[in-house]
Structure 1
Amino acid sequence: MADLTLRGLTVTSGDRVLVRDVDLDVAAGERVLLVGPSGAGKSTVLRALAGLLDDEVDATGDVRLDGRAPAPGEIGLLVQDPLDAVVAETAGRDTAFGPENAGRDRARTWREVARAHRAARFTAGRDREVATLSGGERQRLALAGTLAADPAVLLLDEPTSMLDAPTAAAVRAAVLDAVREPSRTRSLVVVDHDLAGWAPHVDRVVVLGADGRVAADGPPAATRTGDDLWWPGRGAPDPVDVPAGLLAPVLAVAGDALRGEGLGLVATRRSLRPRPPVTVLAGVDVRLPAGALTPVTGGSGSGKSSLLRVLAGLVRPTGRLLAAPELAGARGRRTPHAWTSAELAARTGWVPQFPEHTFVAATVAEEVDVTARVLGRGSARGHVLLELLGLAGHAHLNPFRLSGGEQRRLALASALAAGPAVLLADEPTVGQDRGTWAVVTGLLAAAARDGAAVAVSTHDERLVGGARGVHLRAGTTAVRGEAA
């Protein structure tokens, strides 16, 4: 066991201060929850502790483990975006990376891989291609890779953010089991907006303020500062009011904007070694009425993101998917996968699970306007959306310098700025505090109110409420009725 100390951490990126004068002490075996509003610098603190700050930031401060510089592998970090942790084609090889680099023999390495997969509740199998995993499955695989390296200190950045409630509880239990193993007691620092889930299991809560400084540090029951945080017992705030007509679609639709019958999708990948195809959707029926928000729910790995990609026209499904006559493309084509890129952009706004996949511009201001500008639709909405989403002050920054929650809000603003008739948002409330959650949900509701067909893939019960939508079960059936 080892004591972890951080002294005087200040990190700046250009003219933006990410964190300022942060001190942190984590005793051997202690469990600490690090919280704060979106953009407060939580991920930056974890990266500093792990020695993984990039060269584009300026940092001062000192990290010590038992009074010395940490050795490689002693501090393990699960990053916020699981794609950043992928190093191999298959799940088993990916998890084996840590033990192999520690010089363990083949037999022991694969025992560690199996143990780590069980601990992280990763059930897809060690031969599964990483590229075919859902976001939640990748999150559990990344956790397994961190556990397999057997660190003395475990740093977790939003480890349950993209998981359904039962899976999140199982992964949380797995983490706690891992840090309390009889043969290897570890220290834990976890960043998560789910305070209610973690508070009963941690020794301390450290709160970062919006200015990047430590605002509070103490036992969970006594540390309740910060109105924007999801403290246990705090209900969801009311969605913010959005000016009427701000998000009206350029192409108005009456009735169903999209209707799918018997939709299916099989994931295949070309590689040097043949890989069996993976069925991710089969027999899915869905309709997206204009002027309504349709939730897409289901367990982790059930195919929600794949369904949104089908509806966005990004992949060709089996079955039948038709758009409204008002959205027909050139030569009257009503099948989204047959539309040109320009036709897709003019009709559909897509906010993927990993929002950085959509970024193409050098600054936030340029990013929010790029689609509208290319389509010749002007840029009046972009600035208003940045103001509403708390991003106007970051307009000059590169989108990749934003926090995870800020990137997700920017992707939503960029999708809405072009006035789409169909908005497809994948886990749009992940990484949001109560204040930014209220803005995101307000914009989703306003887009539907103004006439767009809005579909939201989510595990967020506060967002779903009692709305009727599509519920997926292992990608093989779609159930109409009350959402989850």
Structure 2
Amino acid sequence: MARDDVRARVRGLRWRPTGRAAPTIEGLDLTVGVGERVGLVGPSGTGKSTVLHALAGVLGDPLPGELSGTVHVDGGVGLVPQDPGSAVVAARIGRDVAFGPENAGLPRAEIRRRAGEALDRVGLRYPPERPTSALSGGELQRLALAGALACAPGLLLLDEPTAMLDPAAADEVRAAVVGALEGTDTSLVVVDHHVGPWLERLDRVVVLGPGGRVTHDVAPAALRDGPTGLRDELTRAGVWLPGVPAPAPLEVPGALVAPDGTGPEVAADGLVVDLVTRGLRGRTTTRALDGASVRLPAGALTAVTGPSGAGKSTLVATLAGHLRPAAGEVRGTPGHGARSRDLARWCGWVPQHPEHGLLALRLRDEVGLTGRRLGVRVDVDEVLALLRLDHLADAHPFRLSGGEQRRLALAAALAHRPGLVLLDEPTVGQDRRTWAAVAGWATAAARHGATVAASTHDAHLVALAAHQVRLDGAERERQAVAA
């Protein structure tokens, strides 16, 4: 590839995060052409997000560690991180999307035009004054993408950009990305465990293996209908390929998940929940749930489904006792206002953003922390091994990939075997093997008597559920009301 045709070139990249014994990336070479669209896939923990961070120039300073090799990028870079909440810089969505163009010194009219177009392209059709704190995880993904598109970068980097979106919204975002790049020479690198829906939109697919090494660099068609040997090899490695059924959930021993007795029957009637944001312009109240009624039977897995922004995370957090309802009743749990020790004894809650619940400096300490506080024995080593985290037992929780952090949060919240298990998007960022472990934990806990509910867009997980609660968002107040 001629020099003028290269948008980004990586040579001999080596990266070892602070606190990790082995490097995440060892000797990576990668070239991205001008206008080229590249998919980056591979098992969990193989350094896909790290490659995007390297291309964005944020390794070694904001993210501490040992870095060597070279990275050259021609043109500006737009990064949509795996945790979209980390990209929020303003209290209102309009100002957040305008942040990049404002810093580029563009005229005010051009800033407004770009921000409005970007929000419309990603389907985030709220007024510009909508509080960013009132957005769901899926809506935050759209916001982060809008902010990147508004800057018209030469290289657009997307890390699991549709992971927390419902299928219709995810396809809308993929179409928005392709539409935004149409007729430009902007290059695209997208990381997505479920690469199938992207294939017709890509020029190449690069597969990473252990140590961040490139194991395959193929045309997209090879993953869809290419040689059987290649597809079988990638499936065994944990890569999700179109047309390949989901793996069976892992058989999890009852001793790791069985609660002390049967889980509670949980019910909520007429649940109204308001989210309050306080800022320079006063207090803003956003109605997240308006009259929701649900039942969670004991000894069963219930899937909580619905479009992005319908209030699924709010429902799960309210049932866990972390949000106070403005009206309605929750039965079968200690409820909001209970002591944290009582909440933890009754309920294991895994939030949508797993890093929000991490407290210790090592994985093994994190997994055993709640059990120690409650006087419950936890087999830390077996839990870590089951969730494929045993090789990271002494690593710092904030030096993990997004998928690894999510599995750690699950282990930390559930290792003490609570009777009520509440999971928010538990399978995001998982390859086939780690998905089987997470799904196996949820189904085994229910089989052994726990009350389990999972807010999810994952059709494979929904298929395993005995019951389903769907929030359609129709009852939800879409406008923020200033008090």
- Please indicate, yes or no, whether the TM-score normalized by the shorter chain is above 0.5: yes
Instruction: Say which SS state the counterpart of residue 254 (structure 2) adopts.
Output: coil
Contact kept, 8 Å, 2:254 with 2:445, in 1: the verdict is no
1:246-265 matched pairs, under 5 angstroms: 246-250=256-260, 252-253=261-262, 256-265=264-273
1:52-451 matched pairs, under 5 angstroms: 52-55=58-61, 56-65=64-73, 70=74, 74-180=76-182, 182=183, 184-223=184-223, 224=231, 225-227=233-235, 228-250=238-260, 252-253=261-262, 256-324=264-332, 335-380=334-379, 382-451=380-449
Contact kept, 8 Å, 2:300 with 2:466, in 1: the verdict is no
Given the alignment of the two structures, is residue 6 of structure 1 paired with residue 17 of structure 2, yes or no?
A: no
Contact kept, 8 Å, 1:91 with 1:127, in 2: the verdict is yes
User: Unpaired segments of 5 or more residues in structure 1?
Assistant: 325-333, 478-484
Deviations along 1:389-412, one digit per CA (max 9) or x if unpaired, are 000110100100010000000011
Worse-matched range after superposition: 105-114 or 353-362 = 105-114
CA RMSD of aligned residues (A): 1.6
Contact kept, 8 Å, 1:321 with 1:336, in 2: the verdict is no
Task: Tell me which amino acid in the other structure corresponds to 1:45.
Answer: V
Structure-2 change in CA distance of 1:246 and 1:335 (3 Å):
closer
What is the Cα deviation at residue 244 of structure 1?
Answer: 2.6
In 2, distance between residues paired with 1:253 and 1:322? 19
Contact kept, 8 Å, 2:138 with 2:164, in 1: the verdict is yes
Instruction: Say which SS state the counterpart of residue 266 (structure 2) adopts.
Output: strand
What is the Cα deviation at residue 64 of structure 1?
Answer: 2.0
Worse-matched range after superposition: 269-278 or 21-30 = 269-278
Worse-matched range after superposition: 199-208 or 56-65 = 56-65
Alignment-derived partner of residue 479 in structure 2: none
What is the Cα deviation at residue 415 of structure 1?
Answer: 1.3
What is the Cα deviation at residue 59 of structure 1?
Answer: 1.3
1:458 to 453, 456, 459: 456
Contact kept, 8 Å, 1:257 with 1:422, in 2: the verdict is no
What is the Cα deviation at residue 12 of structure 1?
Answer: 1.1
What is the Cα deviation at residue 2 of structure 1?
Answer: 5.3
Worse-matched range after superposition: 343-352 or 222-231 = 222-231
In 2, distance between residues paired with 1:357 and 1:244? 28
In 1, distance between residues paired with 2:117 and 2:278? 30
In 2, distance between residues paired with 1:282 and 1:435? 38
In 2, distance between residues paired with 1:340 and 1:119? 44
1:23-38 matched pairs, under 5 angstroms: 23-38=29-44
Structure-2 change in CA distance of 1:169 and 1:297 (3 Å):
same
Contact kept, 8 Å, 2:91 with 2:279, in 1: the verdict is no
Task: Tell me which amino acid in the other structure corresponds to 1:205.
Answer: V
Deviations along 1:52-98, one digit per CA (max 9) or x if unpaired, are 11432111121223xxxx46xx1111111001101111101111110
Contact kept, 8 Å, 1:121 with 1:171, in 2: the verdict is yes
Worse-matched range after superposition: 269-278 or 111-120 = 269-278
What is the Cα deviation at residue 275 of structure 1?
Answer: 4.3
Sequence identity percentage: 50
Deviations along 1:289-330, one digit per CA (max 9) or x if unpaired, are 221111100000000000001100001114443444xxxxxx
Task: Tell me which amino acid in the other structure corresponds to 1:253.
Answer: T
What is the Cα deviation at residue 338 of structure 1?
Answer: 2.7
Given the alignment of the two structures, is residue 22 of structure 1 paired with residue 32 of structure 2, yes or no?
A: no
In 2, distance between residues paired with 1:339 and 1:31? 51
Contact kept, 8 Å, 1:261 with 1:283, in 2: the verdict is yes
What is the Cα deviation at residue 6 of structure 1?
Answer: 1.2
Deviations along 1:249-296, one digit per CA (max 9) or x if unpaired, are 13x236x53111111101112222134421110111112222111110
Task: Tell me which amino acid in the other structure corresponds to 1:19.
Answer: I
TM-score under structure 2 length normalisation: 0.92
Alignment-derived partner of residue 45 in structure 1: 51
In 2, distance between residues paired with 1:84 and 1:21? 28
Deviations along 1:364-404, one digit per CA (max 9) or x if unpaired, are 00000111111111222x32111100001101001000100
In 2, distance between residues paired with 1:203 and 1:36? 17
In 1, distance between residues paired with 2:426 and 2:412? 13
In 1, distance between residues paired with 2:116 and 2:51? 31
Instruction: Say which SS state the counterpart of residue 257 (structure 2) adopts.
Output: coil
Contact kept, 8 Å, 1:280 with 1:476, in 2: the verdict is no
Contact kept, 8 Å, 1:349 with 1:424, in 2: the verdict is yes
Deviations along 1:420-450, one digit per CA (max 9) or x if unpaired, are 1111000000000001111100000011111
Contact kept, 8 Å, 2:291 with 2:328, in 1: the verdict is no
What is the Cα deviation at residue 187 of structure 1?
Answer: 0.7
Worse-matched range after superposition: 132-141 or 414-423 = 414-423
What is the Cα deviation at residue 355 of structure 1?
Answer: 0.2
Alignment-derived partner of residue 226 in structure 2: none
Alignment-derived partner of residue 331 in structure 1: none
In 1, distance between residues paired with 2:150 and 2:329? 43
In 2, distance between residues paired with 1:467 and 1:220? 36
TM-score under structure 1 length normalisation: 0.91
In 1, distance between residues paired with 2:368 and 2:274? 34
Contact kept, 8 Å, 2:273 with 2:327, in 1: the verdict is no
Task: Tell me which amino acid in the other structure corresponds to 2:81.
Answer: V
Instruction: Say which SS state the counterpart of residue 338 (structure 1) adopts.
Output: coil
Worse-matched range after superposition: 140-149 or 467-476 = 467-476
Instruction: Say which SS state the counterpart of residue 274 (structure 2) adopts.
Output: strand
Deviations along 1:18-55, one digit per CA (max 9) or x if unpaired, are 11111111111111000000000000000001101143
Instruction: Say which SS state the counterpart of residue 315 (structure 1) adopts.
Output: coil
What is the Cα deviation at residue 335 of structure 1?
Answer: 4.5
Structure-2 change in CA distance of 1:178 and 1:159 (3 Å):
same
